[in-house]
Structure formats: structure tokens, C-alpha cells
Structure 1
Amino acid sequence: MAENTEEKKELINFIHQIIEDDNKTGKFAGKVHTRFPPEPNGYLHIGHAKSICLNFGTAKKYNGLCNLRFDDTNPTKESDEYVNSIMEDVKWLGFDWEERRYHASDYFDQLYEYAQQLIKKGKAYVDSLSSEDFAKNYKGTPTKAGKNSPFRERSVEENLDLFERMRKGEFPDGAHVVRAKIDMAHPNMHMRDPSMYRIKHAHHHRTGDKWHIYPMYDFAHGLSDSIEGITHSLCTLEFEVHRPLYDWFIDELGVYHPQQIEFARLNLNYTVMSKRKLLELVEEKHVDGWNDPRLPTISGLRRRGYTPSSIRTFADRIGVAKRDNIIDVGLLEWSVREDLNKIAPRKMGVLKPLKVIITNYPENKEELMDATNNPEDPEGGTRKLPFSREIYIEQSDFMEDPPKKFFRMGPGREVRLKYAYIIECVDFKKDPATGEILEVYCTYDPLTKSGEDQTGKKVKSTLSWVSARHAYKTEVRLYDRLFNVEDPSDVEEGEDWKKNINPGSLEIIDAAALEPSLAKAEAGVGYQFERQGYFTVDTKYSTADKLVFNRTVTLKDDWAKIQQAGS
């Protein structure tokens, strides 16, 4: 089929269409100002990466601005560790908030004044019911109206006095809350006199012990957008039912009104995206911390060897939808394969070594073989691979009694060593007790050197290898999917969802044999171990004396094969 040379029009997602319509009508004076508003109560995951790319990418597309704002309204679950990790993740993905780093805590004084204004207008009151009592006996249900709190009609003066005393720390946690006075029969449960402030005698990681009350997320979020002059407040779908409440606060206060637009959050199969569940995995030590390479956290993906480009490409490919759906994690894996295939230097790596002795090769002889660095990069050049009498191949590349369609090494068979010679197996030694193959003995044809072959011989298999004398032996970690079912949370009542953890999600190989150049491998660089997959230096366990390598992804989608075979 002839290549279509017509210029492709850029696909415009529905959010960008709204913005373009706003620009045409002059809404917000043609400005675009977005924000990425994480709560600093955990590490960011791939779902947040989608939001980061959307918010910063949208601002860039329309020559606008994007703020980084931490919604830090719950001091008992927040820390500087999470703040620092979030900033690192955003920058690693390639985005810059410049001088526009903000915190909801920056606005605590302003939010307190807003709450006082609502009290003065008769639109808020101090409620002395416990949260449990209010939820059980007053709030009602989606099909049954609630009823007013007995404290709803307190005077403005009493409410202001109690609110000030709450701020000073005179009352214990839970003694009072400040509620918006809206409608206890409202069909939207979020509009039934929602909490605006609660008492928390907790140390805040930024404001210290200044405050004994903290605003609720629903009160602070929309108003923080207003204070910052956000034009388009992009939120995931679960906040759609909260939008009327955000609008109510803004309209009652008569302040600047951003436009909230909801989009579908990212859901991946074979993983969990809940911060609560991720924290559970970390605290119960099912994984090796927040940056475990099996987790969908951005720091975990980075440690595993994912590239910022691959994640941005993945976010572009899945697009922006109006309804929730499940994305196949294979698309994320394919995105990093595609990226690394273009840029990753090729290296020789034998994960489970089997020694091969080339009996007719001189014992003290060494050669340097020319090897291609990256066939996808014409300017990538070549490197020198040392070759000697004893080499390692993969254990799986030899069979004592190979079946018909096994084209690798076996007794009497010839194979080519990539970039080197054709060798023929003449004998082997095995452990009589276990049957394990210990060594393989071969001969080589000196006229079959790669690039100089004078024989024209054809063989059906080409094997990777590493010179035993020069091998860099080190630890390699083979990571797989953390869960062995598509929906890990789909369990019977009373069952633990963690029963779906894949017991084979991590295999540690103690003495892989790698080509010697990998002793100087760089952290943050992806390498393709030929015929094995893509690997990177582990930033947690590597030392100056010994590098540890993590497998980012296999060369092919093995899971797709498994699923196809089972169907």
C-alpha cells in the first residue's frame, strides 16, 4: 500500500476543544492557566503521570502556565518526603513549574477569613454533633432526605466565637466542625451541609503547630484554584459530583470562578492504583518500598528503567476520555520497548551461564570482535567484544536431546556465535547425580569469522555469548508483573486481595555473566541485553564495586503469548 503523504491533523481531545471554544469567545481573556494539585500523602503513580502530562502539556500547547500546588490539608498523612518525591517525579517527566510552586497551606489565613465570611452571611455554622452521629442520624441516604442538626441555627456571634476558639485549640479533636449551611434534602449528598473545617491537634510539616483546625479538601480545593487564578481546573471523574459544592463556595463568596472539567482517571489491569493499597503493600513489606520496580509509582518505573519519553508517549496514546475504562498494561510496556529500541545500546548478557570450551581454539589467544551498538541508530557505531577459548552461553541454548524445532545448540549441531565464529558441539559433561549440564565442548571453524566468512556456511541459529575470561559477573533482577490476575481487587467478600500477588514477580540471579563494558554502565541509561530484554542499573542496590541490573521489560510481550495460548 502506498504511504499516505497527506498531512495528519492533530487529534484534539475534548478538554482542548473546550479550551479552544473558550478562546474563541474570549472567556478568561484567552488565557490558559492549569495546575497539578497532588496531595503529599504518598508517592505519585502512573495515573498521576497522566494528569501531569495533561495539565503541563495543555498549558504548553496554549502558551499558558501550569502551577504545582500541594493540597496539604491533612497533616496526619503528609510529609516532606512525599513533597520532595513529587517534585522529583514532575521534573523527571520533563515538566517545570518554574517559580509557581504553591501549597494549600499558603492560603490557610485566607481560607479562615472565607469561612468567617460565610458564617457572617448565615451560610455556615459550628456543629457539635459527632461525625458519626451526623452521618448515621442526620445526613439521610440517597433516597431519603436528611434532617437539620440541632446546632444549625446558632447565632452568627456564637458561631464566630466558637470558630475562633476552635482555631486557638480550646477544644479536643472531634468536639466541633464547621459546616456549610446548604440543604439537608439536596439530591447530591455532598451538598447536605458538608464539613468545611475540623479540629486536628496535629503538627503540620509546613505550618508547624500554628493551626489546631484544618480546612476540608472540598473547601480548600476549589478556593485554592480561585486564589491562583486557574482558568481550567482539570479533575478526574470522581470529582464531578463535588463540582456543585466547589461552585457553591465560590459563588457565595463572590470570588473569581475557574472552570472545572472532569476526565477519566487511568486504570491499568494487573496492578492497583489506590494509594491506600499501595501504602499497604509498602508497609507490609510485600514490596521493596515506594520505588519498588514492580509498583506503578513513577519512582518505581524510573528505577525499573522506564524513560520519561515512554511515559509521556503512553499518556498521549491512551488519550483523554470522558468515561472510565481499563487500559491494558501491555500498552505501557510496549511504549517503553518502542522507546528503548531506538536509543538503548546493545550489550551481551548471559543470565544463566553455561560454560562452552572451544577445544581447538588456542588457550592463550584473545580476539576483539566488532559488535554493532544499535542497529536502529546508523550513527551508533561499533564496539569491541573480547573473545577467548572459554565462553558462556545461556543454559537454555543447549539441549542434550533437542526436539526437531529446537535450532540452538545440541550434540553434532553447528550454531553461530553472534559477531564471532560458527562452532559445533562435539561433547558435553553433566553431573551424574542431577543430570545438570556442566560444560559443553565445541570446535570452531576459523574461516567463519563474522564479517569475514570464507565458507558460506548457513546455520539456523545465532547465539549470544560472553567471554568467560572477561565476563563481568554480577546480580541481575528479573521483574515481572506484581499481580497474576487482571483485577487484583476482585476477590470474594472476606478474602485478602493480596492473595493475587504473583509469587514469581521477582527473580534474583546472583552471577549473571555480562560483557566487560557493563562494569561501567551508567545509571539512568537503558541497555538491551541481546535476546534477553532491556535492563538498567539499579539505583538502590548498586555500589561502586558492584552494579546490580534490573530488567525493565522483555523484548517481546510474553504475557500476550500466555493469554493467547490459554484462550
Structure 2
Amino acid sequence: MCHELAGFLTSITFVYEALPFAFPSPHQTTDNPAKAPVRLIAPKKLTLHPSTSRYTYTLIMEAQIEEWKHRAEALKPLNLKQIEPSLAELDAHLTLRSHIVGYTISDADTTVWQTIRANRVAHAYIKQNLMPNVCRWFRYIEEAYPQQAALPERPKEKAKDGEKQKDDGANYDIGLQDVGDGTGIVTRFPPEPSGYLHIGHAKAALLNDYFAHEKYKGTLILRFDDTNPIKEKQEFQDSIIEDLALMGIKADKVSYTSDYFQELYEFCVRMIKEGTAYADDTIQEKMRDERMNGVASARRDSSVEDNLARFEEMKKGSPEGLKWCIRAKMSVDNPNKAMRDPVIYRCSPEVHHRTGDTWKIYPTYDLCCPIVDSIEGVTHALRTTEYNDRDAQYQWFIKTLKLRGVYNWNFARLNFVRTLLSKRKLTKIVDSGLVTGWDDARMPTIRGIRRRGVTIPALREFILKQGPSKNIVMQDWFAFWATNKKHIDPIASRYTAVASAGKVTATITGAREGVITEEKDKHAKYTNLGKKKVVYSKSIILEQEDAASFAQDEEITLMNWGNAIVRNISHSINPLAQPSGLKTVTNLELELHLQGDVKKTSKKVHWLSTDQELVPVELVDYDYLITKDKLEEEDSLDDFLNKTTETRVQALADCNVAELKVDDIFQFDRKAFYRVDKAFKHGEPAVAFQIPRGK
């Protein structure tokens, strides 16, 4: 075989030079893959016929396929440092190719694709688009040849000794670069203090906390990105700190971008002097159009002296300075529009809530983020996929300013149906008076959903189950509230309430004389919650809906008491009701039948003795703020605002409810779970917010 192969090396060399699919040896010593020496492995049982160029061509293709199948083994280790050289080699090979070998899919593509896809570290790494050719090829094979790219089910990893198998639907082994033993990893959560934290922010905060403190033993920085004095307030800053504490997130360090205003100013001056930034007074609309269409600003080639003079006017906050901004000189027509000379400094005379009137110029997020991350020692900037296009911009600043490198990792933003997470739109809703404030139970803020009745452990569980996936999905609130229900069911005491409107008084015959009070478990299953009082007497009230469903002499079950037979039903007729002459039950006579079998009755109803101090309570339920699952860019918010989002029902509750405190969570039998928003006071009803159940 070796003799035959050597016999026509000349023809192989000739064909290699003519074919575009020659591949480099893994032992190449040149930086140019096109000039690298070739290593061929002849397929087993291959009969060589060097007499025709066709067979020479086939031989090379089959040898290359076998070679790449062999090299796929190097992509199997779950260690980024081990597989990164092989991925880089593959990326170089695919520079001008759609397939690894030849012009159609082969076993080389299938084997390498499946190897990468089965390796969670390799798969996570290429999804960051750090190797564009591999990423392009990977998506192409997946979309163009779905059957060939099918992947066998990935085997579950064995748990380490002494550890339970973690099966929460999230994969946190995402292949973060250079983590070492984990003690050197530094992440940051950089909220802008211009509003309250919402559930989307909660995901970013919890994931950064998870990687810093749970996955690894590193450091988490809470940095307030306080660079816009127009929108920011101390109130928002304080609320963010409180909400993070509620979620169990404790930063190792708290900092402020405003701490670095002097350094950022000096970096900007340096960029102007080095010709990588310039001053621009193009009006906003025109600048937007020019960036969109790849047109250079008329000020792009201004002299360094002119740019410095204009920046100085901006620093003074003079009328002339207010006309200008500073832009990074990146590109005019880069396909990635985030790279088209972004604004990095603007002039604003407003007083800053921390620095007062010291500064009249403020850096933008795009400039601050990479610089301050690098200065503060951040190793991994974890943020949502909406920043994908700005990663290149981020790295441009790192390279241009010769800063210590920082890795970018993006994860999907948490989106929910019929829910706004845009701070601008949420501010508009608050300002319009549609809600009572940022902590309104209809708002997706941390304070809003807590007021609605979510527990912090449920919030953490739901978000951490989503994991750091890059897949953007629209979540349904049902799953969120179902998670919460698992947490509140064991801690929610059971009580009884009857709607005040239309309540029906029933007289009980066969009951013991007088008023009887008994101690019952607050929760039939979780008896550790303690006892409650249940009052029995001959006079009770029931819901109108239940009473209207009773038939003469029907046997029903009074919950927590026993069976009773309906002996008499009194009605009144409302002539204005529709359908015409609708009957309303006014009174009932029930004969107690405690020896009856509760399993045989179809109607089991709640009730309250009138011989106790009934507690007035207002039951509040909420609907979504918007009527469309997802608002598109062209949609007007006003067109999809839900005008009726609140329902209030007056009810009477048992005497135990008088003892409930604000934030207590409980359940009214046959109704729902509730959170106490306002405790009962004599003369003032308690107010309870209904907690959605989920599926």
C-alpha cells in the first residue's frame, strides 16, 4: 500500500495544488494554512489506480475524510484549553469552504459536527461566534442537512462522589475561558440607577452571582452605571441594593462608574490625540441616518487640535459645548452597525446625584463598560444576547486602549408573554397613572412580583433553571407561578372567606346548641403550621353561587363539618336581571346529616358561622398590563394597553384572618392563594392580593 501510494506522489501533488479542499497537517510549522504540508492517510482496503486523475481525485477526498474523522477525536475532551487549538485549526481550514472536504456533505462534516455538538464545552464555545468560520459551517450543516447532523442523546454525566445528580434543566458547564481553580474569576452586575430592578435584571444578577459564588469561588462586583444624571436617582440606587439583598445576592464589592470619571476623561483625551476619536456636531436624526447608510460624518477627519478644543468646550458645559459629542473612530460602513463610530461622550449640564456639578460631560455605556471592567479586574463580562453586536465594539476598546483583556459571554434575556421589560415603556406606564408605582403588583419589577406573592426561593429556582442558555424564548407566566406554588403550598395556612355580595344565610337543624369553637389544623397535610379556630353554630353564610346550585332535598357536604340535606330554599326575583326573572337565593334551611358519606356528595362547599367576629377583607386580582403576547417595534404601546387590569371583591373571612400580618401568604378554601397587602384593623378591611397558581 505504502509503495503504491508513493508511486504517484507526483500526481497527488499536482492535484493538491489545483484543489481547494487540501487540508493542513496538524504538525504544520507555517502560519499560512494554504502553504502547510499535507498528511495523507490511505483508507483501509483501498485499491489504488494511479492511471487516471479521477481516481487520484477520489483517493485524496477519501483520505481527507478519514483524516478528519481521525482528528475529530481531538475535539472530545471537556476542556477548552485542550480543544481550542483543534477548533482554531478547523476555523482556518474553513476560511473559504462550506464543507470540510469537497463540495458536498461527507462523513467528515457529519463526524466533526456531531463531535462538537456532543461536547457541551466545544458547543458553547463556538456559539460565542469567536471562530466565525466554524460557527458559519456549524449552522449551515445543522440547517441544510438536519438528518445527517442528527445527534444521539447525550449521556447524563455521573454525579461526583457524595453529590446528588443535578437535573434542573440547566447546564452551567459553558466552558468559560481561563477559570483555573475558580478563585480568580471576577464577574460584575452593572445596573443603571434609573429605575427599579425587574425580573430580567434578576436573571443577570443571579447568573453573575452564581458563577462568582456557587460555580466558582470568585468575586462579584456590584457596579452602578451612573453616567446619565437626567434619569438617575438615589431612590433607585437604594432600591436596587435592597432588592439584591432580598434575592440573597451579596456583592463582594460595590463601586460606581462615576468613581472613574477622571480616568474615563483621560482615556477619551488619549483617543482624540491618537486619532481614534473625534468631536461631532451632526444633529441626531442625520447622524442616525448616516450610521444606518454607512456615510461618514463631515467632522470625521477634523484635526486633533479642533477635536480637543471642542471636547474642552463640552467639559465646560458651554452653549457651544452642548452642540457636540465625541465619537469613536471605528468604522463608517462595518456590516455590524454597532461598530459605526459610536458616541462615547456627551455633554449634559444636569447635576449628578453623586458628583454634583463637577462634571458637565458623561461617558456612554459603550466606553465605560470595557474600560472599567478592565480596571476593576473583571475576568468575564456576562450579559444578555442583546449585546452580541456590541461584543466586537467592546473588544475594539480593549485592543485600541491596550487594556487587560476581558472575556465576553452572552446569555438569553428573560422574556415573558404580555410583559414589558423596557425601562422606557415601564416608566411611561408608571407616569401615566395606569399603575400606582414601580412596586405595583402588575409590574414585572422585583418589588411588583413580590407584592403579587412570589417568594424569593421560587424566583431564584425559576431563574437558575433557565440557566445561561443563549436560546431566546418567550416564557409563559404559568410556569413561573407553578414554581412559586410549590414553594407556598406547604407554608400557606387554610382559611375561609365568603363573598359579601349575594351571601346566603342558612339555618342549621340538628346542630348542637350554642356556639362551639374547635381547634383545627391550619393545613391538613402540614400540621406544623399550627392550629386555627373553627366556629360552629346554627346560623351560617354561604356563597350565592353555591346556594343557587342546590336542589330541594339534595345532600351536600359542609367542609370541615359534615353532610347536610337541603330542606328549604327561599328565593327572591330580580325583575331587572337577565335572563328575565332570574332568581336569587335568600335563605336556606339545612338539616345536619353527619352520618352521611362525604365521598358520595358532588357538592362540597365552604361556609362561615355568623356567631364569630367575621373579618371584612378585600380580595384583589390583576390581569396583564398589555393585550398582546409580544409587542413589535412598530407597535404603539397605547394601542395594546389593557384598560381593565384590576378586580376587587368584598368578602367576609373567618376570625383567624384578623391575626394575619402584611406579607403573610395563605389560601382561602376553594378560592386561591393570597398575600396580605394590608392587615386588618378595626374599621378597615384587610386587603389580600390573589397569587396566580400557574398550571
Give TM-score scaled by structure 2 length.
0.70
**Where does residue 665 of structure 2 map in the other structure?**
526
Distance verdict in 2 for CA 1:125–1:486, change over 3 Å:
closer
CA distance in 1, matches of 2:640, 2:419: 10
Q: How many residues align?
A: 525
In the alignment, the residues of structure 1 paired with residue 229 and residue 285 of structure 2 have an alpha-carbon distance, to the nearest angstrom, of 21
> Any conservation in 2 of the 1:532–1:555 contact (CA below 8 Å)?
no
Specify the alignment match of 1:348 in structure 2.
496
Match of 1:469 in 2: 611
Matched, 1:548 2:686: yes
Asked which structure has the greater CA Rg, the reply is: 2
Unaligned runs of 5+ in 1: 403-408, 558-567
Q: Report the counterpart of residue 298 of structure 2 in structure 1.
A: 149
Give, in whole Å, the separation in 1 of the partners of 2:491 and 2:573: 46
Match of 1:439 among 582, 586, 589: 586
What displacement does 1:522 show? 1.7
SS in 1 for 2:430: helix
Q: Call closer, same or farther: CA 1:364–1:112 in 2, change over 3 Å.
A: farther
Aligned to 2:674, the other structure's residue is in SS state strand
Residue of structure 2 equivalent to 1:563: none
- In the other structure, the counterpart of 2:509 is 360
1:294 paired to 2:442: yes
2:656 equivalent in structure 1: 517
Change (3 A) 1:119 1:424: same
Which residue number in structure 1 is paired with residue 646 of structure 2? 506
Residue 14 and residue 154 in structure 1: after superposition, are their counterparts in 2 closer, same or farther (change >3 A)? farther
1:150–1:478 Cα change, 3 Å = closer
For residues 246-265 of structure 1, the C-alpha deviation after alignment (integer angstroms, 9 at most, x for no partner) is 11112222222221111110
- Rate the CA distance shift 1:184–1:463 in 2: closer, same or farther, 3 A: same
Q: What are the superposed Cα offsets for residues 495-538 of structure 1, whole Å, 9 maximum, x if unpaired?
A: 744444445531111x3111111112122221111211110111
Contact 1:479 1:550 in 2 (8 A): no
d(CA) in 2 for partners of 1:177, 1:60: 40
TM-aligned CA deviation for residue 298 of structure 1? 1.3
Matching residue's letter, 1:550: A
Given that residues 477 and 548 in structure 1 are in contact (C-alpha distance below 8 angstroms), is that contact kept between their aligned partners in structure 2? no
Do the aligned residues in 2 keep the contact of 1:124 with 1:180 (CA within 8 Å)? yes
Alignment partner, residue 120 of structure 2: none
Amino acid at match of 1:505: T
| Deviating more after overlay: 168-177 vs 262-271 | 168-177
Amino acid corresponding to residue 74 of structure 1 in structure 2 = N
Instruction: Determine whether 1:424 maps to 2:576.
Output: no
Report what 1:106 is aligned to.
Answer: 259
1:321 and 2:472 matched: no
Structure 1 residues 189 and 454: CA distance shift in structure 2, 3 A: closer
Residue 546 of structure 2 corresponds to 397
Paired residue secondary structure (2:573): coil
Give, as a single letter, the amino acid of the residue that structure 2 aligns with 1:351: A
* 1:139 alignment partner in structure 2: 291
Q: Could you tell me whether the CA contact under 8 Å between 1:425 and 1:443 is conserved in 2?
A: yes
* Alignment partner, residue 67 of structure 1: 221
Q: Which residue of 1 aligns with 2:115?
A: none
Structure number with greater CO (CA < 8 Å, separation at least 6) is 1
Q: Alpha carbons of 1:12 and 1:64: their partners in 2 closer, same or farther (altered >3 Å)?
A: farther
Q: Separation in 1 of the partners of 2:617 and 2:267?
A: 61
Q: Secondary structure at the match of 2:528?
A: coil
Separation in structure 1 between the aligned mates of residue 171 and residue 265 of structure 2, nearest angstrom: 36
After superposition, the Cα gap between the structure-2 partners of 1:544 and 1:496, relative to the gap in structure 1 and judged at 3 Å, is farther
CA-CA distance at 1:484 after TM superposition = 4.1
Partner residue of 2:203?
Answer: 50
Q: Secondary structure of the residue that 1:430 maps to in structure 2?
A: strand
Q: CA deviation at 1:290?
A: 1.6
Match of 1:415 among 546, 556, 568: 556
Distance change >3 Å, CA 499–CA 388, structure 1 → 2: farther
Return the match for 2:623 from 469, 474, 480: 480
CA distance in 1, matches of 2:261, 2:681: 45
2: CA distance between counterparts of 1:377 and 1:87? 35
Is 2:536 the counterpart of 1:387? yes
Instruction: Between 76-85 and 234-243, report the one with greater CA deviation.
Output: 76-85
Deviations 1:173-216 (A, max 9, x none): 64111121222232222222221111111121221211111111
Q: Is the 8 A contact 1:22 1:30 kept in 2?
A: no
Contact kept? 1:535, 1:549, Cα under 8 Å: no
Partners of 1:456 and 1:307 in 2: CA distance: 35
Write 1 or 2 for the structure with the bigger share of helix.
2
Q: What does the per-residue CA deviation read over 1:292-324, in whole Å, with 9 as the maximum and x for residues that have no partner? A: 212212111111111111111111233332131
**What is the Cα deviation at residue 153 of structure 1?**
3.1
- What's the offset of the Cα at 1:362? 7.0
Identity of counterpart residues, as a percentage? 30
Out of 199, 212, 231, the position equivalent to 1:77 is: 231
